[in-house]
Structure 1
Amino acid sequence: MSARLPIETDSLADRVLHRDGMMLVIDKPAGVPVHAGPKGGINLEQMFGSLRFGLPRDPALAHRLDKDTSGCLVLGRHRKALARLGKLFSNGRIGKTYWAVVRGSPEAESGLIEAPLAKRSPERGWWMAVDPAGQPSATEWRVMARGGGLAFVEFTPLTGRTHQIRVHAAHVGMPLLGDPIYGAGSAGGAALHLHARAVSIPFSEKRPPIEVEAPLPPHMAATFTAMGWDAEAPSPLKRPISA
């Protein structure tokens, strides 16, 4: 029996948060890899045919999100758009805001994590660790709410390293809830609580940045409700978009 996609192909169009002639921003569901791994398997790219909206080719990934991370995923609709988006991402000009639930309660209300990251294992390139010889990596954070041994934290990555938020959060003693690799594990069956809440994309130099927000996924919304946190709290992008 063939594996089933975690969501119905036709429903992916319902998850479009922004659409124009150059790009799409979709609300990626948690638990779905964005592309096939070395061993293949079901993935989100298989469903991009439903996102053509009249164009002759499928859109393509402008960046990546982890399998278990939900939220704003940016797609380019053709080669010119992908080239522009790729340049914006590589130059660090796209603002990104993530929401997470962490175990513990940080003493400070906000901070900056600066810890270089490198591959922890040559055989597992996606497995990262803090390493003085690694690539410079920086993440801003601020606590939005606390309670019951957990904290709702907003993260703003200033660099774009693999698993950056997950490694940095664990490094400073606030591991992400449901992270089986770097932190608080999946105790109690919790799924990873990391959500790409918002992106700000300065695609055109002559127009304001395109700003998009994604609603919380069901498992995080349930945690917010249980903790009495406001899932509709504003999440301004703190990082200035440089010229």
Structure 2
Amino acid sequence: MTPQEIEARLLYRDGLMLVLDKPAGLPVHAGPGGGDNLERYFQFLRFGLPRPPALAHRLDRDTSGCLVLGRHPKALRKLGKLFQEGRVEKIYWAVVRGRPAEAAGRIERPLKKLSTKTGGWRMVIADDGQHAVTDYRLLGSGDDVSWIECRPRTGRTHQIRVHLASLGCPILGDTQYGDADRARGAKLHLHSRSVSLPLYPSRAAITVTAGPPAHMQAALAACGYSRLQHEADQQADRADGGDAARP
């Protein structure tokens, strides 16, 4: 990724934080085997500061959308406290197989990491797992697919993926949690749609929105997401980028 390409993904910038539109398929940091990752490009986002920004939270490799970075250690401590206290409102969009029995609801099922026989791992619902809560509502539906908004109230690994699968509605492209037969080769249809952070006590919460990525467009359109909505998303992203241009 060039400096111009990473900067083009900047949705918001101020003195404390940056918000990036993370591409699907790129991990946020290097794994044990190394390889390309988003952190290696943070050096291009210093904007005059002596060190690059750092991750305030994480998104899975295959999840796209809003990713928050702190610009310096003091900012990271402040952002970390907001995330830890559950004061960051996060909205995700998912396109799933099928349709949930209820159009809206709360999924409150504990999650636990389970090792597999192949040496990997997956998250499972277990009574002795960690408390996990996701609120959801149906935004639209089509032929055997649904467009769902999720608001996670806790931040467990793979939480939204496992919770939606537990409704009988695995996310499109999620071969690990139930879409293996019909989505082989498809990208994960999970997008971090927006984040809202009460970063400054004397100001309203900062809300940043990311339009859905290209690989989700067809499935969203099948659920009622229109071209007009997509154009409005692009305009909103450009407006955020304009704000971000200010130091």
TM-score for both structures, normalised by structure 1: 0.89
Q: Does the 8 Å contact 2:29/2:38 carry over to 1?
A: yes
Q: Partners in 2 of 1:33 and 1:108 — Cα distance?
A: 33
- The answer on 1:81 being equivalent to 2:78 is no
1:201 to 197, 200, 203: 197
Partners of 1:230 and 1:51 lie apart in 2 by: 33
Q: Which runs of 5+ in 2 are unaligned?
A: 234-247
Pair 1:225 & 2:221 matched? yes
* 1:3 alignment partner in structure 2: none
How far has the Cα of 1:29 moved from its partner? Answer: 0.4
**Correspondence 1:167 to 2:169:** no
Alignment correspondent of 2:178? 183
- Over the aligned positions, Cα root-mean-square deviation in angstroms equals 1.9
Please state if 1:97 is matched with 2:63.
Answer: no
Q: Say if 2:24 is the partner of 1:27.
A: no
How many aligned residue pairs are there?
228
**Which residue pairs with 1:114 in the alignment?**
108
Answer yes or no: is 1:43 the counterpart of 2:1.
no
Residues 177 and 183 in structure 1, CA contact (< 8 A), matched pair in contact too: no
Code of the aligned partner of 1:216: P
Partner of 1:212: 208
**Cross-structure match for 2:47:** 53
Return the structure number with greater relative CO, CA threshold 8 A, min gap 6. 2
Match of 1:71, SS? Answer: strand
Q: Which residue matches 1:143?
A: 138
Q: What's the secondary structure of 1:10's corresponding residue?
A: helix
Counterpart of 1:153 in structure 2 is 148
Letter in 2 for 1:49: Q
Q: Is the 8 A contact 1:200 1:212 kept in 2?
A: yes
Structure 2-normalised TM-score?
0.87
The 5-angstrom pairing of residues 8-23 of structure 1 reads 8-23=2-17
Larger helix proportion, structure 1 or 2?
2
Q: What is the Cα deviation at residue 224 of structure 1? A: 2.1
Per the alignment, in what secondary structure is the counterpart of residue 175 of structure 2?
coil
Deviation at 1:228, TM superposition (A): 4.1
Point out where structure 1 has 5 or more consecutive residues left out of the alignment. 1-6, 236-243
Q: Which residue of 1 aligns with 2:238?
A: none
Contact 1:25-1:73 within 8 A present in 2 as well: yes
The 1:93/1:227 distance shift into structure 2, 3 A limit, reads closer
Residue 27 of structure 2 contacts residue 61 of structure 2 at CA under 8 Å; is this kept in 1? yes
Q: Please tell me whether the aligned partners of residues 140 and 223 of structure 2 are also in contact (alpha carbons under 8 angstroms).
A: no
